[in-house]
Structure 1
Amino acid sequence: ILDIFRLELFVCNLMLRHAGRDPHIMMLLLLFVEQILAILVVGFGFWMSTHNDECRRSLTIPVMGLGGVIFLMSLAGFVGAWKNISCLLWTYLIMLFVVLVAIMVFTVLAFIITNTGTGHAVPGSRYKEYRLQDYSSWFVKQLNDTDKWTHLRSCLVKSDDCNSLSNRYKTLKQYKLAELTPIESGCCRPPAECGYPALNASNFDLSYHPVSTNVDCKLYKNDRFLRCYDCNSCKAGVAQYMKTEWRVVAIFNVILFIILSFVYFVGCCARRHAGGSDSKVPRR
């Protein structure tokens, strides 16, 4: 990170040397680019909302909100640079600094909590199973919260994740060769260790006594409103989905942080350059 900051300082000083006597031109250009970037951030949040159902939109609103804040902030900075209003420019730089710190803190935490948890291979199948204890304590705490899980569970029941499996996979061979999503694997079927034979993609023969002491074996039911929605394996599937979503947003934030920090350093250099230029103007 320090190397990136040094590079950005070098580049911004180099740019200002070629910007002529008025550094505001460079500042206006960068603020305009920042407004476009803010629109792209909002667009990224909108894309996340269209590719997920209402059950899995935990980061959609924060991402779109961040884009809105960046847009309003850059708009204030643009007006300040255009009209040469120092208080607006300083307000913009302070707000941008706060946003950069917030992005950095969130990104670091996101990488920390998504550093654990992965799928376990199921013999004879292409899909994987997930275990709740493999994931970070923060994810486990969120998913074990009764109120939050009750809401999420009701949402999962209404979704087509489990109900559409029998329509998509007509035979057991197709089902075993399918690459099920973490939620389909954890919420729509009992863990493989239970030993229940599959009748089709949606139902299992529960007359067999489970060969495992896993509590999920007794919780699973063929009822479309029950399935394995109360199982730890279902929570683990949701945790895996959340991990993937958070990791994507974290990588996006790294790119956003680099771009915004460059704009911030250029803005600081521009203000310093402008202040130096103003002090050299002879007073009458």
Structure 2
Amino acid sequence: MGGTSTSTFVIRWINFLTMILAILVVGFGFWMSTHNDECRRSLTIPVMALGGVIFLISLAGFVGAWKSISCLLWTYLIMLFVVLVAIMVFTVLAFIITNTGTGHAVAGSKYKEYRLQDYSSWFVKQLNDTDKWIHLRSCLVKSDDCNSLSKRYKTLKQYKLADLTPIESGCCRPPAECGYPALNASTFDLSYHPVSTNVDCKLYKNDRSLRCYDCNSCKAGVAQYMKTEWRVVAIFNVVLFVILSFVYFVGCCARRHAGGSDSKVPGR
């Protein structure tokens, strides 16, 4: 019975540590929510939900080992395997989706511009969904992304040297190819005839509620933000997958060892 007790001890404490890990995952999701406004929390709830699921699975493994409930231990191993597969699938898809799209340099400026067609078809489909974009657009209008630019950058020189975020670059100003002279960080001289056929040139307005929120460049800026967020979560998932794989391996070995020890008891 020594092998069985040792195995259950290992499973019990490895799952106790995994419960702590699950709390950290939930904490990571909470951190994401506090560092983003409601417009940019697409992965916050899934991350926190994942942490909650891992916690419940680990709790099942802990209780199963503590009370020596075999069916609970098997349920724990099966559910942990399912979670590992789900994490692996999501992570692979996340890396595939975020493998395209990058910023384009703007002459004489530090910031970059983004083009919607550079991003994955999945991102484009999500952002071209009318209902979803209406919600995102209303959030962007209410946010300080564009409204605070003139306060942060008092001169045009400061503005051109500013490291604008993708959303600030895409939603708060017309594309550089339009040729509109900047009067300040939030106003452009629209009396000039645009030198480009880009439809965004006609969509841009100086009005605080309009800006370039209906532009493809704005959607591209959001796509770049989503790409960065998804890539961070994907990297986090890789680390999580490695840790949980180790936990699963230890749990399987301990369970097998316990089963082997139990089968030898009658023959003593």
What's the TM-score bracket when you normalise by the shorter of the two chains?
over 0.9
1:211 positional shift: 0.2
Write the deviation string for residues 4-52 of structure 1: whole angstroms up to 9, x where unpaired. Answer: xxxxxxxxxxxxxxxxxxxxxx111210110000000000000000000
| SS in structure 2 of the partner of residue 199 of structure 1 | strand
| SS in structure 2 of the partner of residue 160 of structure 1 | coil
1:94 positional shift: 0.5
| SS in structure 2 of the partner of residue 228 of structure 1 | coil
Q: What is aligned with 2:41?
A: 57
Give me the whole-angstrom Cα distance separating, in 2, the residues matched to 1:244 and 1:72. Answer: 29
Q: What is aligned with 1:122?
A: 106
Q: What is aligned with 1:20?
A: none
Give me the whole-angstrom Cα distance separating, in 2, the residues matched to 1:282 and 1:52. Answer: 60
Give me the whole-angstrom Cα distance separating, in 2, the residues matched to 1:180 and 1:72. Answer: 42
1:283 positional shift: 6.1
Q: What is aligned with 2:54?
A: 70
Write the deviation string for residues 138-196 of structure 1: whole angstroms up to 9, x where unpaired. Answer: 00000000000001000100000000000000000000000000000000000000000
Give me the whole-angstrom Cα distance separating, in 1, the residues matched to 2:226 and 2:52. Answer: 23
Give me the whole-angstrom Cα distance separating, in 1, the residues matched to 2:254 and 2:18. Answer: 16
Where does the alignment leave 5 or more consecutive residues of structure 2 unmatched?
A: 1-9
Give me the whole-angstrom Cα distance separating, in 1, the residues matched to 2:85 and 2:238. Answer: 12
1:282 positional shift: 2.6
Q: Is the aligned partner of 1:255 residue 2:227?
A: no
1:199 positional shift: 0.3
Q: Which of residues 23, 46, 65 is equivalent to 1:39?
A: 23
Give me the whole-angstrom Cα distance separating, in 2, the residues matched to 1:278 and 1:76. Answer: 21
Give me the whole-angstrom Cα distance separating, in 2, the residues matched to 1:130 and 1:60. Answer: 24
| SS in structure 1 of the partner of residue 233 of structure 2 | helix
Q: Which of residues 85, 93, 96 is equivalent to 1:112?
A: 96
Aligned pairs, how many? 259
Q: What is aligned with 2:4?
A: none
1:61 positional shift: 0.1
Within-5 A mapping of 1:236-275 = 236-275=220-259
Give me the whole-angstrom Cα distance separating, in 2, the residues matched to 1:91 and 1:250. Answer: 27
Q: What is aligned with 1:197?
A: 181
Q: What is aligned with 2:6?
A: none
Q: What is aligned with 1:168?
A: 152
1:114 positional shift: 0.2
Aligned-pair Cα RMSD in Å: 0.8
Q: Is the aligned partner of 1:157 residue 2:104?
A: no
1:71 positional shift: 0.4
